[in-house]
Amino acid sequence: MTKCRISRRRFIQGTASVGAALASMSSFRLLTGSSPASAEPQQGVTYAQNWCEMCFWKCGLTAKVVDGKVKKLEGQPDCPSNYGKLCAKGNAGVFQLYDPDRLKTPLIRDGERGSGKFRKATWEEALTYVAQKTNELKEKYGPETFSIFAHGSGEHSFVELVEIIGSPNYCIPSYAQCTGSRDIGWALSYGKAVGGKEPVDSQNSKCIMLLGRNIVEALHVGEMQDFVEGVAKGAHVIYVDPRFTKTAAKANQYMMIKPGTDSALLLGMINYIIEKEIYNKNFVDGYTHGFDLFKEHVAEYTVEWASQITEIPQTEIIKAAEKLCEAAPHCYIHPGRRLTRYGNDTQFTRIVACLNMLMGNWEVRGGIYRTVGFKYDAPHMVHFDKPYADRADGAGSEEFPLGPKNLGFANKLMEHIANQDVYPLKGMFVYGCNPLHHHGSTEMVKKALENTELLVTCEIYMTDTAWLSDVILPESTYLERYDPVISTGRRKGYIQFREPAVNPVFDTKGGWEIAAQLSAAMGHENEFLDVREYNRLAFEALGITEEYMKKHGVWVANESTPYPVEDGEEEPSFRTPSGKAEFYSNLCEHFSYPPMPSYEENPVPAEDEFRFLFGRLSFHTHARTQNNAWLLALHKSEVPLWIHTDRAKALGIKDGMQVRLVKEGFKSNPCTARVVDYIHPQAVFLPYGFGHETKGLTRITGKGARTSDFTSNLTDPISGAAGFHNGFVKLEIA
């Protein structure tokens, strides 16, 4: 145990000597002519370009390779994702590469499911086995019996394989489990989804409002850099969360909100802003639709009412509203990330969008900027005919007309696999994700996995899901493989390049190679391009050379303005039916959803229960990095469970005690109680991604709780995305 290195007392003593260094300033000798020695090429040292795969922000990085071993990863200074910086996870990629816990060869199950008995197989054996089983299932149940859950840079390798087989049931779970409701809510309001690289212009913002968007801990380097820049320049930061997070530490105004009442807070602010007529009239009059109806609609949501529901003093609500309006249009209310909370999140994001509309912050500095993308004639990895069957999960059906067919509803699809109630769903592929942790109900996922006759997982680690698989295909990590170049948009549009820094450390292959070989083994004649060939064609289409990308790793292709409205190049325009930003949503009306968002009360926990909240730590991604020894060392492998002092006292729980979460008789592994005053008494908070069962993650198995054992399993009626935060738990001392 490392103890706290400098006690609070010492820190205070440190601050007591403020000004001491000011005195010593005068003693700086003013010598000139000392330029740093320039870097000399070292023997045995090479560099390789890549983008980070420790999370999904895709920071550009350069790997330093010394005598054939990756020694250090550093950010590419010119990459607009991260401008030379990497977070703790990014820096720990080296450990992942050489981790002895990695999957080292293909494995075929050789015992009961869940027994963990696998036999090592050659690639040929494993691929033939999967191909045969796949063809058998296809024969028996039809091609649509297959599903794929895929996340990460190689996701499309397996998605396209499943489409080639003939099934439409592919899911990119980040839609249903993270951003789906938000993107649909935003699309209904502005005609455009937010997208994964949230275009909030923190660095130029004068006022930033975040509702549980914990930018500092649920961290994406680029977004966080912008935020710190904005803070340093003096932006007024309003942070709303039932919990005082590290993002709250950077805020000027922190509001501890009663969990589940965010929409009441925003409606109260909207009411105030409209009543006082301090909104951006120019924008509202010129570029929005349905304001008068909206004004009438929100008249009942007074500040007094909002204060009662949210437990936030009226003065604070008013202050937040005024601060935003003073700063408008150089301000924003964050659209949110993982807005899969209460099962009515699309309407909540509609409220967020409407408040932003009142600011008129569209495509201006400090507000919502325009993501600068670019188009080029990208080659196809493989040509195939689209499957004809209907999706089993209902995405894009009459029930969910707005559900995107190209992303799917991971939660609904899993449910249908568990219940087998649409058509037989007997074959499942999993690429780079871990459904046992990612869904609303572990029970349901377990049932689904039991119902499959073939479960194939392509992974780099023995996840809980891999542990239950029939075949495990070990993938090379990002530092060992090529991938098709990617194009990304933030304030600039850019291309990123990945090349292996070292040969595969174990007997692994890249996703595209695996998919291509599987497809061939199944007897399909579709020709996959080799990734290097794909890249060559892409470079040709882009007019750049591989040499350039090998040197820089990133190429900025489009530098047009991300603020076309403010820069006077364009009038605000929106791809909605009215062509305006819509307070009153025509599409909602068309599909018989409420066209204007209202307050909906969420269920509350019983007296002896807590609302179960979960989220990220700055140094872990989803459930995929918890076993990394360098990252574990940062928190001494402890899994904290936050609980309010008064509630803890009543239960006899003291800070540091081991406690278990309990729900319907089910108990978690022990977690370490973190007894604090700065979480709402009605909630407990657990960092996401612990509680692994698999014996293949030797450092972390059995530690902490798995969130999916305790969340709610709801579906938003508009977007089809999940809702996790209506799970209620009890605690007991371990």
Partner 1 sequence: MYSADKTKKFAMAYIVDRCVDCKACMVACKAEWQIPDNDFRTHIDTGIAPAATERLSMHFLPHQCNHCDDAPCVTVCPTKASHKRADGVVDIDNRKCVGCRYCIPSCPYNARFFNNQLGVADKCTFCLPRIYDGLMPACVTTCPGRARVFGDINDPESEISKALKDAADNRYRVWTLRKDLGTEPNIYYIQK
Distance (Å, whole) CA 274 – CA 144: 51
By CB under 8 A, name the one of 92, 161, 436, 679 that touches partner 1.
92
* Residue 677 in contact with partner 1, rule: CB under 8 A: yes
DSSP element (H, E) containing 323: helix 314-327
Q: Is residue 475 classed as helix, strand or coil in its secondary structure?
A: strand
By CB under 8 A, name the one of 175, 186, 190, 244 that touches partner 1.
244
What x-and-dash track marks residues 51-90 binding partner 1 by CB under 8 A?
A: --------------------xxxxx------x-xxxxx-x
Q: How far is the CB of 203 from partner 1 (least distance, A)?
A: 12
* Residue 2 in contact with partner 1, rule: CB under 8 A: yes
Number of residues in contact with partner 1 under rule CB under 8 A: 69
* Residue 649 in contact with partner 1, rule: CB under 8 A: no
CA-CA-CA-CA torsion for 316, 317, 320, 323, nearest 10 degrees?
-90
Q: How far is the CB of 238 from partner 1 (least distance, A)?
A: 14
By CB under 8 A, name the one of 193, 486, 556, 629 that touches partner 1.
629
Count CB atoms within 10 A of the CB of residue 409: 30
Region of residue 700 (left: phi > 0; alpha: psi -120 to 50; beta: else): alpha
Distance (Å, whole) CA 715 – CA 698: 35
* Residue 28 in contact with partner 1, rule: CB under 8 A: yes
Q: Could you tell me the two tokens for 136?
A: 């058998």
* Residue 22 in contact with partner 1, rule: CB under 8 A: yes
Q: How far is the CB of 228 from partner 1 (least distance, A)?
A: 5
By CB under 8 A, name the one of 109, 206, 250, 412 that touches partner 1.
250
What per-residue string of b and e applies to 489-504 under the rule 16 or more CB within 10 Å gives b? Answer: bbbbbbbbbbbbbbeb
Question: Which of the ranges 264-272, 357-365, 444-452, 675-683 carries the binding residues for partner 1, by CB under 8 A?
Answer: 675-683
Q: E strands, 216-369, where?
A: 236-240, 253-255, 288-289, 331-333
Strands across the sheet containing 471-474 = 118-120, 107-109, 471-474, 454-459, 427-431, 146-150, 170-171
* Residue 5 in contact with partner 1, rule: CB under 8 A: yes
Surface-to-core class of residue 60, CB atoms within 10 Å of its CB (0-12 exposed, 13-18 middle, 19+ buried): buried
Residue number, 75 or 394, with CB nearest to partner 1: 75
Residue number, 557 or 684, with CB nearest to partner 1: 684
Question: Which of the ranges 35-43, 269-277, 383-391, 691-699 carries the binding residues for partner 1, by CB under 8 A?
Answer: 35-43
Distance (Å, whole) CA 262 – CA 212: 9
For residue 343, give the amino acid letter: G
Q: Are 645 and 663 in contact (CB under 8 A)?
A: no
Angstrom CA distances, 336 to 179, 197, 205, 327, 613, stand at 8, 11, 17, 20, 16
Question: Which of the ranges 10-18, 98-106, 511-519, 522-530 carries the binding residues for partner 1, by CB under 8 A?
Answer: 10-18
* Residue 312 in contact with partner 1, rule: CB under 8 A: no
Residue number, 226 or 693, with CB nearest to partner 1: 226
Question: Which of the ranges 375-383, 588-596, 674-682, 684-692 carries the binding residues for partner 1, by CB under 8 A?
Answer: 674-682
Q: How far is the CB of 75 from partner 1 (least distance, A)?
A: 7
Residue number, 61 or 549, with CB nearest to partner 1: 61
* Residue 45 in contact with partner 1, rule: CB under 8 A: no
* Residue 642 in contact with partner 1, rule: CB under 8 A: no
Q: How far is the CB of 259 from partner 1 (least distance, A)?
A: 17
By CB under 8 A, name the one of 105, 676, 699, 701 that touches partner 1.
676
Residue number, 619 or 724, with CB nearest to partner 1: 619
Distance (Å, whole) CA 104 – CA 475: 9
Ranges of H-type helices in 56-120:
88-91, 93-97
Q: How far is the CB of 434 from partner 1 (least distance, A)?
A: 23
Residue number, 86 or 187, with CB nearest to partner 1: 86
Distance (Å, whole) CA 329 – CA 140: 60
By CB under 8 A, name the one of 678, 699, 701, 734 that touches partner 1.
678
Q: Are 471 and 107 in contact (CB under 8 A)?
A: yes
Angstrom CA distances, 561 to 81, 128, 280, 579, stand at 17, 52, 23, 22
By CB under 8 A, name the one of 30, 44, 523, 606 that touches partner 1.
30
For residue 196, give the amino acid letter: G
Distance (Å, whole) CA 169 – CA 703: 34
By CB under 8 A, name the one of 292, 636, 652, 665 that touches partner 1.
636
Q: How far is the CB of 499 from partner 1 (least distance, A)?
A: 20
What x-and-dash track marks residues 579-618 binding partner 1 by CB under 8 A?
A: ---------------------------------------x
Count CB atoms within 10 A of the CB of residue 15: 8
* Residue 624 in contact with partner 1, rule: CB under 8 A: no
By CB under 8 A, name the one of 40, 139, 292, 547 that touches partner 1.
40
Q: How far is the CB of 705 from partner 1 (least distance, A)?
A: 22
Of residues 468-527, those binding partner 1 (CB under 8 A): none
DSSP one-letter string for 650-665: HHT--TT-EEEEEETT
Q: How far is the CB of 194 from partner 1 (least distance, A)?
A: 22
Of residues 264-303, those binding partner 1 (CB under 8 A): none
* Residue 120 in contact with partner 1, rule: CB under 8 A: no
* Residue 384 in contact with partner 1, rule: CB under 8 A: no
* Residue 20 in contact with partner 1, rule: CB under 8 A: yes
Of residues 212-241, those binding partner 1 (CB under 8 A): 216, 219, 221, 224-225, 228, 231-232
Strands across the sheet containing 45-51 = 45-51, 60-66, 69-75
Q: How far is the CB of 680 from partner 1 (least distance, A)?
A: 12
Q: How far is the CB of 678 from partner 1 (least distance, A)?
A: 6
Counting every residue written for the chain, the total comes to 734
**Which DSSP category does 243 fall into?**
B
Residue number, 228 or 378, with CB nearest to partner 1: 228
Surface-to-core class of residue 650, CB atoms within 10 Å of its CB (0-12 exposed, 13-18 middle, 19+ buried): exposed
Three-state SS sequence of 397-451: CCCECCCCCCCCCHHHHHHHHHHCCCCCCCEEEEECCCHHHHCCCHHHHHHHHHH
Surface-to-core class of residue 730, CB atoms within 10 Å of its CB (0-12 exposed, 13-18 middle, 19+ buried): middle
For residue 515, give the amino acid letter: A
Residues at the site binding partner 1, with contacts judged by CB under 8 A: 2, 4-6, 8, 10-11, 13-15, 17-22, 25, 28-32, 34, 36-40, 71-75, 82, 84-88, 90-92, 94-95, 216, 219, 221, 224-225, 228, 231-232, 244, 246, 248-250, 254, 618-619, 629-631, 633-634, 636, 676-678
